[in-house]
Amino acid sequence: MNFDDFKTVRRWNALNRFLQVTLAVSLAGALNYLASQSTAHGRWNLSREHAAPLALETRKQIETAAAKAPKDSSRENPWVRIYVTLPTIDAPPESDLAAHSKSIQNELAPLLDDIQFSAAKARPNGWLRIEHANYLRGAGILATLKNRYPVIDRDTALVVTCEERCKIISVHDLFSDTNGHFFRGEEVLASALASVASGKPRMLYYTTGHGEMSFSNTAGRGLSSLAAKLRAHNIRLEPLSLTKLGEIPLDADLLLIVSPLASFHAAETEKLRRYMRDRNGRLIAFIDHGAPTVGLDDLFYEWGILVQDARVLDPVPEDALGNMLAYFSDTGHVLTKTLAGQKPLVFAQARPVRFDFGSQPDSTLHVTELAAVKNPTAWGELDYRRPPFAYNSERGDVPPPVYVAALAERALGMRMNLNSPGGRMLVLGSGDITSNAYINENALFLLSAVNWMLDRTQFVGVPPRPSPQFKLQATRADLNHVAFLFIFPPLCILLLGFSVHAWRRLT
């Protein structure tokens, strides 16, 4: 073979370039294939002193359960048991179903190790034990479990038990969609642990019949994400029709009113008043601007809260997407103390909510203004139905900072120097705060407020587990910039290549 011949050299150079491209494409494809296989890689905990990489919320759930465990708990007699029933109970070892369960185990094993480590760190007496119960390991335990809990089937992945309480977790529960994306085993296991260790769930009733936002709605204006987070904290949600019931149920630990569009009748308001006054009730209300407050105004007045018929406007919002931000001030209250300096509340629209200076003096009542829109360009517009809008102090517009949340609590028996806890009421001027569209930004406040209302102060200020899903927020300018970066540089390189090719052919 004559390498001095120009045609031969060109053919070998072309073959060399073809092989280089083929190897590069094959390498990229192989790396992407291996990355998609959970059996091809593992996870190692390299944190200092083997600190558990679980979310703070999960560790708090474990610590709370550990504090309730009996003193005589031990590894031989644990209070909580977690049974791993994977691989699926009726799948032969060589089947595809067993292989799929093996890949799930690779996701689950590091999580179970972290939970076991955190449980031992919270209380080192073996109060929590993890056991295998499948046809490979612990077949006898599996048979006993199936006799005791007949609902265990081929889709069961975990069984969490505590005394007589049990929580069954299926393979589908461990993922956020049917395609197996977004492993959410930590959230599911922490919720199951809270459920079996706490026993009876706390009851949260939400009012219906006034056009309130729906907990089953998965759209941006729905409350499905909030419902999932509340259930993960062992809180049971039930609808409440004040017109159909004679009184609010006796097991109501907390009432929720979310963005009503119609007024409350006098009889409904009286039931709320008796619940708050006679039973030291707990109530959280989200009232949108423009929504009628007839029937609720008197109730708010009794608790020293004024929900103004105005709209918060900000022509120069701080947020790049045009949303308004309400910041917490450290007033010494447990909620503001933990949330001050944290992420502000994010919402699109709101109405002012503040302490009612015209309310009757009451030594047992304390009102705290929680969060305010502090941007100096914002104000509360009273004449919000007739544009154009402009701040007018003579008309009574609310100057900045504009408070949008107020909390009232009554110390029952303060006159007798007992200072025992009484009722609590939290009113916010926006339903956007609770919606699916803004839940990621406001989840810390919402869960802290609910837990404080339920006297679960150990969870106040504890950030929720990060969601495995993410939301891309970008303006049109951001998208144009991304398009420019992805189109213009490659196009310049392509044109340069064509220019060099044409120049070489001409010369």
pLDDT tens for each residue of 26-53? 998 888 887 766 455 555 555 544 444 7
The CA distance from 505 to 228, in Å, is 66
Q: Which CATH architecture has domain 202-459?
A: 3-Layer(aba) Sandwich (3.40)
pTM of the entire structure?
0.72
- Per-block mean pLDDT, blocks of 10 residues, the chain (507 long): 72 87 90 68 51 78 90 90 75 55 78 90 90 81 88 86 89 68 82 85 94 93 92 90 92 96 94 92 95 92 95 92 90 82 90 93 90 95 91 93 94 50 90 94 92 87 64 71 83 88 82
- Reported as type and span, the H/E element at residue 482 is helix 476-506
Fold of 48-198: Glutaredoxin (3.40.30)
pLDDT of residue 48: 44
- Pick from 465, 449, 454: nearest CA to 198: 454
pLDDT of residue 307: 96
Give the relative orientation of helices 56-68 and 96-122 as an angle to the nearest 10 degrees.
70
Q: Are strands 305-307 and 353-355 parallel, antiparallel or unpaired?
A: antiparallel
pLDDT of residue 405: 96
Q: Measured between alpha carbons, how far is residue 313 from residues 289, 309, 381, 441 in Å?
A: 11, 13, 7, 20
| Neighbouring C-beta atoms of residue 167, cutoff 10 Å | 19
The CA distance from 112 to 104, in Å, is 12
pLDDT of residue 406: 95
Residue 469: partners with Cβ closer than 8 Å, 6 or more residues away:
176, 182
Topology agreement, domain 48-198 and domain 202-459: no
Residue 436: partners with Cβ closer than 8 Å, 6 or more residues away:
217, 218, 219, 220, 221, 222, 223, 224, 225, 226
pLDDT of residue 31: 82
pLDDT of residue 414: 41
pLDDT of residue 343: 84
pLDDT of residue 1: 60
Tell me the domain boundaries of the chain. Answer: 48-198, 202-459, 475-507
Residue 167: partners with Cβ closer than 8 Å, 6 or more residues away:
159, 160, 161, 192, 195, 196
